[in-house]
Amino acid sequence: MQSHDQFQQITHDIVWLNVTLQNYSELYTVIRQLEFALLQPIHRFDRPLGAIQSVLQGKLPISLFNPTTLPGILRNISLELPEDYELILGTRTDKLYLYSEFVQVSVIGDVHNTKLILNVPLKSAISQFTLY
């Protein structure tokens, strides 16, 4: 009789422990989900914030443009240049990363708009210029 009572008490304690551990596990899962929900917006703002910090330092953030946008912009610029002028690095895609070092960036904005001003170095046969 005593061992049956002890067995029931042990069974009761194990069931209580399982329920408690399961509740802790569910609580742990909910905490992780909340943590993920909080980290998601932070992660989304890291990239634009890094780009803004680069712009404030006067550098062109390559992460701000997708791989086809910047070459398209540079190609359009080179098509509008007067004769005998060209971009200092050309428009080849293998040299795009160098533009982050040579191009200086300024930003102008208000509540509704933000504009980037790129200072792009140009060259001719006899001298170098800067295109604003």
Find all residues with CB under 8 Å of 120, minimum gap 6, and list them.
Answer: 74, 77, 87, 88, 99, 102, 103, 130, 131
User: Does 66 share its domain with 85?
Assistant: yes
Has this prediction a pTM greater than 0.75? no
Could you tell me the residue range of the domain that residue 67 belongs to? Answer: 59-132
User: Does 52 share its domain with 115?
Assistant: no
User: Does 45 share its domain with 81?
Assistant: no
CB 124 within 8 A of CB 84: yes
User: Does 127 share its domain with 70?
Assistant: yes
pLDDT computed for residue 131 by the predictor: 55
Q: Read off the pLDDT of residues 17-51 as tens digits, 9 standing for 90 and up.
A: 666 666 677 777 777 888 888 888 877 877 777 77
Tally of domains in the chain: 2
Alpha helices in the chain (DSSP H): 2-56, 69-80, 96-102
Q: Can you tell me the mean pLDDT for 41-62? A: 78
User: Does 107 share its domain with 69?
Assistant: yes
User: Does 4 share its domain with 51?
Assistant: yes
User: Does 63 share its domain with 53?
Assistant: no
pLDDT band at 5 (very low <50, low <70, confident <90, very high): confident
What is the spatial distance between Cα 52 and Cα 99, in angstroms, rounded to a whole number? Answer: 17
